[in-house]
Structure 1
């Protein structure tokens, strides 16, 4: 790994820590699959599901939405680390990556069927006294579920950012494994996010590659931070 600019050592170390946090926020909800089944995609089934598994549902929601925060830092740190390798590619890749996470945070939702508004609707559904009230709440839930589980432009942009940054890494100090994994992750991610409603469990391949890339990128950022420390 090449020498790092000491003035950015703090950002590199923070990027490494953020990558570790990103991976942790992926692992936590994945392990919760053993505590509760995946959320349904039908409003009438999902609302009682949330009431019965509210803690698990909220943890999954917070983790999958919250991981955008450390991802912001990682994209920024990687972009800065590549500024002398491929300035234009690093700038565009970093900008797209950061924008994707800002969009994800603004949406505040994540497939499958994870949305804060659905928690409110679940409470209303439990308190409803008539079939007409429940039917109206179910219709509102179905609309939110459809929007949440639709093709995610934020996800497509995240994969695009990874692809561009990984292409820039070929001339940088991230070794060989990270750019190769990143190109594969980015290319597969674009397709997987675009076709997510149709590919079903096949999305898991990208779902495993994504935290792997963040882990390797974070490890390299940590090394850059240590080497750049005066």
Structure 2
């Protein structure tokens, strides 16, 4: 994909993904409008399917919807509420500690800056960027495996890791696409541009995609 193709690609992508359901964390942000709930649901979503993330988020928020209330939940209750998300025991302990810190050091408020969010144990750049963009509507580029994989598959960039991808996208991707690229590429990657055997024969971006690394497709 040429750099000049990105406007065309994003325009087509925006229309294509409208037929599919948005990622679970995006749904939480649209329904709740709470940076805190975006943060917690994003932690739950790591290495977990969207359907499981959405259900676990609803169960947990029904028990507690503020940092102080969630910090007071017994660990066993937290674990039961979020099961069967991936690494649920570790995530329960992590969430409890993050909520304690937010309640005691941040006056119940989730930080709106990436560097400040990264101070919370277990919060990486993906989560921090997602909180900034979905929770606060501020510029940020959330890069997960789908964004990293598809941007490289397109040939729009050539990077070695999600963090590297974020840095390059910050330098070349028009800012107007920053808030949506994760949402759209996650949806696109889950439904059409699959990790293995992508559905290239029905892809609306076939004409501009370099198909880097694609050995088998449908």
Larger relative contact order (Cα-Cα within 8 Å, sequence gap ≥ 6): 1
Normalising by structure 1, we get a TM-score of 0.31
Structure 1 or 2, whichever has the larger Rg, is 1
